[in-house]
Structure 1
Amino acid sequence: MSAGGRKTACVTGGNGYIASALIKMLLQKGYSVKTTVRDPDDMEKNSHLIDLQSLGPLEIFRAELDIDGSFDEAVAGCDYAFLVAAPMNLNPENPEKDVVEPAVRGTLNVMKSCVRAGSVKRVILTSSIAAVSSRPLQGDGHVLDEESWSDVEFLRAFVKSGAWAYPVSKVLLEKEACRFALENGISLVTLCPVVTVGAAPTPKVQTSIPIILSLLSGDETMIETMKQIEMATGSIPMVHVDDLCRAEIFVAEEESARGRYICCSLNTTAKEIARFLAVTYPQYNVNIDRVADLGDRPRICVSSAKLIGEGFEYRYKTLEQIYDDVVDYAKATGILPA
Structure 2
Amino acid sequence: MSASSDKKKTACVTGGSGYIGSALIKMLLEKGYAVKTTVRNPDDVAKNSHLKELQALGPLEVLRADLGEQGSFDEAVAGCDYAFLVAAPMNVRTKDPQKELVEAAVHGTLNVMRSCVRAGTVKRVVLTSSAAAVATRPLEGDGHVLDEDSWSDVEYITANKSPFWAYPVSKVLLEKEASRFAQEHGVSLVTICPVVVLGAAPARKADASVPAMLSLLSGDQAAFGVVKAIEATTGCVPLVHVDDLCRAEIFLAEETAAAGRYNCGSLNTTIVEIARFLAHKYPQYNVNTDNLPGDLLEKPRVCLSSEKLVGQGFEFKYKTLDEIYDNVVEYGKALGLLPN
Normalising by the residue count of structure 1, what TM-score does the alignment of the two structures yield?
0.98
Q: Which residue of 2 aligns with 1:45?
A: 47
1:256 aligns with 2:251: no
Counterpart residue identity of residue 212, structure 1 = M
Residue aligning to 2:21: 19
Counterpart of 2:284, as a letter, is: Q
Superposition deviation, residue 223 in structure 1: 1.1
Contact 1:82 1:126 in 2 (8 A): yes
Unaligned runs of 5+ in 1: none
* Alpha-carbon shift at residue 207 of structure 1 (Å): 2.3
Map 1:1-338 to 2 at 5 A: 4-161=6-163, 163-288=164-289, 289-338=291-340
Q: How far is 1:3 from its partner?
A: 8.7
- In 2, the alpha carbon distance for the partners of 1:291 and 1:242 equals 32
Task: Using the TM superposition, give the Cα deviation of residue 132 of structure 1 relative to its aligned residue in structure 2, in angstroms.
Answer: 0.1
CA contact (8 A) 1:2 1:77 kept: no
Counterpart of 2:287 in 1: which secondary structure? coil
AA aligned opposite 2:199: G
- Structure 1 residue matching 2:247: 3-state secondary structure: helix
CA RMSD of aligned residues (A): 1.1
Q: Which residue identity lines up with residue 220 of structure 1 in the other structure?
A: Q
Deviation at residue 227 of structure 1 after TM alignment: 1.0
Distance 1:71 1:177 in 2: 16
What is the one-letter code of the residue matched to 2:176?
K
C-alpha distance in structure 2 between counterparts of 1:228 and 1:83, whole Å? 26
Contact 1:196 1:238 in 2 (8 A): yes
SS at match of 2:165: helix
Name the CA distance, whole Å, in 2 between partners of 1:199 and 1:188: 28
Superposed CA deviations along residues 86-117 of structure 1, whole A, max 9, x for unmatched, are 00022221111110000000000000000000
List per-residue Cα deviations over 1:13-72 (Å, max 9, x = no partner).
000000000000000000000000000011100000000000000000000000000000
Task: Specify the SS of the correspondent of 1:55.
Answer: coil
The CA distance in 1 between the partners of 2:53 and 2:226, in whole Å, is: 33
TM-score (norm 2): 0.97
Against the structure 1 CA distance between its residues 2 and 12, is the aligned structure 2 distance closer, same or farther, given a 3 Å change threshold?
farther
**Which SS does the other structure have where 2:275 is aligned?**
helix
Q: Report SS of the residue matched to 1:54.
A: coil
| CA distances 1:106-160 after superposition (whole Å, capped 9, x unpaired) | 0000000000000000000000000000001111110000000000011001124
Displacement of 1:290: 2.4
Q: Give the residue type in structure 2 aligned to 1:148.
A: S
Tell me how many residue pairs correspond in the alignment.
Answer: 337
* Secondary structure in 2 matching 1:139: coil
Matches of 1:2 and 1:144, distance apart in 2: 43
**C-alpha deviation, 1:330, in angstroms:** 0.4
Identity %: 68
Q: Is the 8 A contact 1:270 1:291 kept in 2?
A: no
Question: Partner amino acid for 1:244?
Answer: L
Q: Distance in 2 between matches of 1:202 and 1:292?
A: 36
| Distance of 2:240 and 2:42 partners within structure 1 | 30
Distance across 2 between alignment mates of 1:36 and 1:295: 40
CA distance in 2, matches of 1:33, 1:2: 17
Deviation per CA, 1:142-183, whole angstroms, max 9, x where unpaired? Answer: 00000000000110011243x100000000000000000000
Deviation of 1:206 after TM superposition, in Å, equals: 3.1
User: How far apart are the structure 1 equivalents of 2:230 and 2:181?
Assistant: 31
Amino acid of the structure 2 residue aligned with 1:65 = L
Post-superposition shift, 1:292?
4.2
Q: Which AA in structure 2 matches 1:279?
A: H
- Using the alignment, how far apart are the partners of 1:2 and 1:173 within structure 2? 36
SS in 1 for 2:239: strand
